[in-house]
Amino acid sequence: MFELPSPIYRAAQVRALDRFAIERCGIPGYSLMTRAGEAAFRLMRTRWPAAERITVLCGPGNNGGDGYVIARLALAAGLTVRVVALSDPAALKGDARRAWQDLIAAGGTTLEWQDAELDRAELVVDAIFGTGLDRPMPRAYLERVDQLNASGRPILAIDLPSGLDADRGQPLTSAVQADACISFVGLKIGLFVGKGPNCAGQLFFDDLGIPPAPPDIGPPVAERLMDASIGRLLPRRARTAHKGDHGRVLIVGGGIGMPGAVRLAGEACLRAGAGLVTVATRTLNVPAIVSGRPELICHGVEDAAAIDPLIERADAIALGPGLGQDAWARALFERVIASARPLLIDADALNLLAANPSKRADWVLTPHPGEAARLLGVDASVVQRDRLEALHALLERYGGVVVLKGAGTLVGMQGRVPALCDRGNPGMGVAGMGDVLTGIIAGIWAQSRSLYESACVGVLVHALAGDAAARRGERGMLASDLYPQLPSLINMGD
């Protein structure tokens, strides 16, 4: 097994990689199936070493063939193995048929499903369907999947949880909810978007010894964000550096009674390394912000024209945390949008933008699914149903860089392969986390002056900080819990 690679593909591309291995690299299909079964068996023994009673659910295709290989290896290791054939194995073809025959030759047997079948298992292997499934499962299979999910038994999914759309991450009616999944040859985008992360559980990968992908399968549909990108964008600072070298950021927000959001963004921006951070907010908010973080320069702004000198001195502007949508907010929004400064648009500013759409190259938009839906004039369920398609639609309509937040946050820019962040955790689903992300991206942007890379690294740093904070537990996490984690992360290049 290997560390998860960066490239992520659509199911058709992974099938093309299989053909590449067989037809152009001369690796027999059954050798690939055997390697897959061996990798899955190694994971099974590593992850669940005490499991002695294994039930393997085998489907009608090559995914089932992988299952028969796993069952044969488990039998040879002296485990108690029950192989449940959910389709007639005599109807199998090609490599899958050979895998079944080798199991029988090794002394194994196959069984038909019984309602009490899973009660005997200490571990269940899901080898029912893989990437070839592109429509809802027949009713008989749906019933088995539902029973499997309700069994309470640990589940290892082979290549893809059965019933999951490999391209959109949505269940095709129903899908296996695995504890772990081992994916082969190439990572599938459906494992990272939509409901994919819930279905896959902990994800593992094995390339089965296939050479790197040839150009003719096309570029990846996305690329995982990797830790090394942080140090590349934020190298060690020169000994003679001063605050002016690290960027001046203006953060605009904080309507009446909303000092918290802009305060969170401001401190996150400082913690991310910006040299000087100014907050423009309602005058009533100034004492609360300054008393909590005196390093922030805070200006009370009641008239939109008063923000012009602050805009003039800024290298970059973040607009939106706690801004509101009243007349004051709209006036500031229009003033900032009209400026020539690079912008980061978040929160209420995104809702104001949705009401008055425009397009420019030098901004970053950071919507969550609900805000993305308003920007596109659709329902949030449409965004979540195909997050990649929603990302491309946002880029087409608004330009710049788009950070589509959520599990499997996507970062896109026209002409670039989208980046995907598979870090982070459910504990981060609390108020203020988006404001912290805004500050982190703005702070990194002020230092690097690289729009797309700053968004990518900011998303990754934010997620890694959330994971570090979650070591104490996910429930009860606060957005400000990320602050102590940031210095070590943004100094990875030192």
Q: Residue 12 and residue 368: Cα distance in Å, rounded? A: 29
Domain ranges of the chain: 7-218, 228-490
DSSP-assigned letter for residue 108: -
Helix, strand, coil % over all residues of the chain, rounded to 5: 45, 15, 35
Say if residue 245's pLDDT is above 80: no
Q: What is the pLDDT of residue 77?
A: 97
CB 366 within 8 A of CB 438: yes
Residue 242's pLDDT band (boundaries 50, 70, 90)? confident
- Span 67-74, mean pLDDT? 98
- Among residues 249, 228, 244, the alpha carbon closest in space to that of 456 is found at 228
Q: What is the pLDDT of residue 306?
A: 95
Say if residue 240's pLDDT is above 90: no
CATH number of 7-218: 3.40.50.10260
Q: What is the pLDDT of residues 454-471, one digit of tens each?
A: 999 999 999 999 999 999
Alpha-carbon distances, residue 463 vs 45, 183, 221, 412, 468 (angstroms):
30, 23, 21, 17, 9
CATH of 228-490, one of 3.10.450.230, 3.40.1190.20, 2.60.60.20, 2.40.110.20: 3.40.1190.20
Q: What is the pLDDT of residue 116?
A: 87
CB 269 within 8 A of CB 440: yes
Handedness of CA 397, 402, 404, 409 (dihedral sign): positive
pTM value is 0.95
Say if residue 476's pLDDT is above 70: yes
Place of tokens 């923000």: 307
Say if residue 165's pLDDT is above 70: yes
Give me the chain's average pLDDT, please.
96
Say if residue 322's pLDDT is above 80: yes
Tell me the percentage of the chain whose pLDDT exceeds 70.
100
Say if residue 494's pLDDT is above 80: no
- Span 57-62, mean pLDDT? 96
Residue 1's pLDDT band (boundaries 50, 70, 90)? low
Q: Residue 312: which H helix or E strand, with range?
A: helix 308-313
Q: What is the pLDDT of residues 111-133, one digit of tens each?
A: 999 988 899 899 999 999 999 88
Say if residue 489's pLDDT is above 90: yes
